[in-house]
Amino acid sequence: MGQQILALAICLAICFAAAGIGSLLTTPSINGWYAGLAKPRWTPPNWVFGPVWSTLYAMMAVAAWLVWRRGGDEVRLALILFAVQLALNVAWSGLFFALRLPGAAFAEILLLWVAIGAITLTFGRISTAAALLFVPYFAWVGFAAILNLAIWRLNA
């Protein structure tokens, strides 16, 4: 039981470390550069993003933990793919907010979306619950990709 709790804590720490890095890359641009961009009228208010992302990172962590519990070679591959998508997640914040490159960020978020789809399918072969925990993330990043594209086009 103690090992299970420790593993869950590690999964949460890894996911929220990624969230923290993403936040460090994002926050300096919110009130200046991002506030000055033309955005579609359906853009969510800024306060929505924090709670949504916090929930998604927690769900990612639980999903990774559910998969980790199974052990084996397929789990190793699944967790490597999980790490790749987490790195892509952080990279998007760097491209869009820190480097202020919405076009490059759009190309990258498409890779992230495909990676999330692959993780969802891979996790699904190991744990249905883990795959289901990824569905809201897949949907949100799909929405974020459309928003990213709209912002890029409005500001090109």
DSSP state of 100: -
Number of residues in the chain: 156
101: enclosing H helix or E strand: none
Looking at residue 73, what is its pLDDT? 82
What would the CATH number be for the domain defined by 2-154? 1.20.1260.100
Q: State the pTM of this model.
A: 0.94
Q: How far apart are CA 110 and CA 96, in angstroms?
A: 13
Rounded to whole angstroms, how far apart are CA atoms 49 and 19? Answer: 12
Domain ranges of the chain: 2-154
pLDDT along the chain (156 residues), means of 10: 92 98 97 97 96 98 96 89 97 98 98 97 96 98 98 97
- pLDDT of the residue at 72: 81
Q: pLDDT by residue (tens digit) across 55-90?
A: 999 999 999 999 999 888 889 999 999 999 999 999
Q: Which long-range contacts (CB under 8 A, 24 or more apart) does 22-26 make?
A: 22/53, 22/89, 22/90, 22/92, 22/93, 23/93, 25/90, 25/93, 25/94, 25/97, 25/98, 26/93, 26/96, 26/97, 26/98
Cβ neighbours of residue 80 under 8 Å, at least 6 residues apart? none
Using alpha carbons, list the distances in angstroms from residue 134 to 33, 100, 124: 31, 28, 10
pLDDT at 1: 77
Give the DSSP letter of residue 31: I
What pLDDT is stored for residue 71 in this prediction?
A: 81
Look at residue 62 and give its three-state secondary structure.
helix
